[in-house]
């Protein structure tokens, strides 16, 4: 059965947690440590959608696993001993419907070196760490062990952009979809570009975090720290709430296709409604109703 991200289905619904954005919305605090990257101290750069296209008018580049974001208004540098705390405008929940159980994604500006330039074959990864902690209230923090903020997996902004594209693609990647956690940086090393893209499987990359092993039902705050005396300075591009996957036709996202979904569709019948337009033809019509009834549960 075809499945759609819950964010796509619910973004237009009043009161939805994703009615505004699935990305971090507020900088709670930012304390640059010693020697952050020069000019990269705009904390708000870590808010909103991660960067898809970088370089400005002089060095334009699509963001790929080999071309990271690098402009001063796109990433924020922490420096040794630095700290960044951001907040979402909604609770990020531990949702078993999320792909691979991952609930949160952190995006840095790590990138692969290329063993076969310009074909796009990872030879190694340039990453600068950053300790992640999460909190429901901004006061009690739980450390996320073994996952770096500025690390695997390098951001991929477009599904159809080649490794060193100087123009944007036409198909954006999904920044609310994580990479399969069984895939590692080591398993990507030596892969050709086609296999690398297959491993991303539509994802925009980033470091995926499952809240369940942390014993947390939900969080709202994320903190990134760089230890005092560290030789590298993590750079952060964004934070994303993972979108659950629901069966096409489950318009209210409650896990079943029933009368409530039918009511949503009938109220939108005959108009352009992105939630109820299951076949994407621009209008809610008989074919959408047929698809919903065929999937009735």
Spatial contact of 210 and 144, defined as CB atoms under 8 Å apart: no
Contacts of 109 (CB under 8 A, 6+ apart): 68, 69, 70, 75, 150, 155, 235, 237
Residue 110: is its pLDDT beyond 50?
yes
State yes or no: pLDDT of 282 exceeds 90.
no
pLDDT of residue 5: 44
Cβ within 8 Å of residue 200, ≥6 positions away: 65, 153, 156, 173, 179
The predicted structure's pLDDT at residue 8: 41
Q: How is residue 101 written in tokens? A: 């159980």
Which DSSP letter does residue 87 get?
Answer: E
Read off the pLDDT of residues 207-223 as tens digits, 9 standing for 90 and up.
999 999 999 999 999 99
The whole-angstrom distance between residue 114's C-alpha and the CA centroid of its chain comes to 24
Inform me whether the pLDDT recorded for 14 exceeds 70.
Answer: no
Can you give the pTM of this predicted structure? 0.81
- Highest average pLDDT, of 152-161, 261-270, 286-295, comes from 152-161
Residue 20: the pLDDT is 59
In the chain, where the domains are located: 1-18+247-297, 19-242
CATH class entry, domain 1-18+247-297:
mainly alpha
Residues 252-280, mean pLDDT to the nearest whole number? 84
Output the pLDDT for position 115: 98
- Looking from the CA of 156 toward its CB, the CA atoms found within 13 Å total 28
- Three-class SS of 167-192: CCCCCECECCCCCCCCCCHHHHCCCC
Mean per-residue pLDDT for 221-233? 95
């Amino acid at each position: 059965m075809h499945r759609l991200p819950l964010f796509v289905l619910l973004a237009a619904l009043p009161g939805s947690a994703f009615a505004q954005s699935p990305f971090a919305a507020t900088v709670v605090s930012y304390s640059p440590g010693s020697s952050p990257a020069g000019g990269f101290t705009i904390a708000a750069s870590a808010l909103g959608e991660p960067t898809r296209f970088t370089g400005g008018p002089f060095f334009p580049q699509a963001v790929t696993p080999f071309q990271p974001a690098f402009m001063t208004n796109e990433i924020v540098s922490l420096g040794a001993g630095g700290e960044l705390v951001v907040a979402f405008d909604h609770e990020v929940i531990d949702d078993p419907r999320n792909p691979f159980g991952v609930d949160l994604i952190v995006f840095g500006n790590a990138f692969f070196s290329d063993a076969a330039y310009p074909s796009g074959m990872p030879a190694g990864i340039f990453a600068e760490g950053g300790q992640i902690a999460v909190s429901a209230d901004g006061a009690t923090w739980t450390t996320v062990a073994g996952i770096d903020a500025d690390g695997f997996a390098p951001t991929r902004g477009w599904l159809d952009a080649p490794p060193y594209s100087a123009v944007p693609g036409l198909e954006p990647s999904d920044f609310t979809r994580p990479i399969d956690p069984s895939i590692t940086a080591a398993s990507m090393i030596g892969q050709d570009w086609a296999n690398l893209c297959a491993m991303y499987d539509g994802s925009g990359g980033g470091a995926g975090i499952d809240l369940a092993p942390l014993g947390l039902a939900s969080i709202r705050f994320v903190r990134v720290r760089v230890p005092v005396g560290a030789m590298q300075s993590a750079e952060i591009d964004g934070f994303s709430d993972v979108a659950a996957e629901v069966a096409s036709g489950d318009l209210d996202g409650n896990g079943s296709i029933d009368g409530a979904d039918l009511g949503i569709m009938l109220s939108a019948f005959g108009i352009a409604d992105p939630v109820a337009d299951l076949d994407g033809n621009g209008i809610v019509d008989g074919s959408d109703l047929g698809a919903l009834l065929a999937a009735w549960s």
